Copies of this chain bind each other. A is one copy, B any other.
Amino acid sequence: MPFIHVEVLEGLSTEKKQELVKEMTDMFVRIAGAPQERVFIFFEDLKRDNYARGGSLVSLLPPPSTAPAATGNEGK
- Residues of A near any B CB (own CB < 8 A): 1-9, 12, 14, 16-28, 31-46, 49-57, 59-60, 68-69, 71, 73, 76
Q: Which residue of B lies closest to A37 (CB)?
A: B54
So how many copies of this chain end up in the complex? 6
**CB-based contact A5/B8 at 8 Å:** no
Extra pairs beyond A1-B76, A8-B32, A45-B50 (10, CB < 8 Å)? A1-B7, A2-B9, A4-B4, A14-B49, A14-B57, A17-B52, A24-B24, A25-B52, A39-B54, A42-B50
- 26 A-B pairs with C-beta separation under 8 A: A1-B9, A1-B73, A3-B3, A4-B4, A8-B32, A8-B34, A18-B52, A18-B60, A20-B32, A21-B52, A21-B56, A21-B57, A24-B27, A25-B55, A32-B71, A32-B73, A33-B69, A35-B76, A36-B54, A37-B54, A38-B76, A39-B53, A40-B51, A41-B51, A41-B52, A42-B50
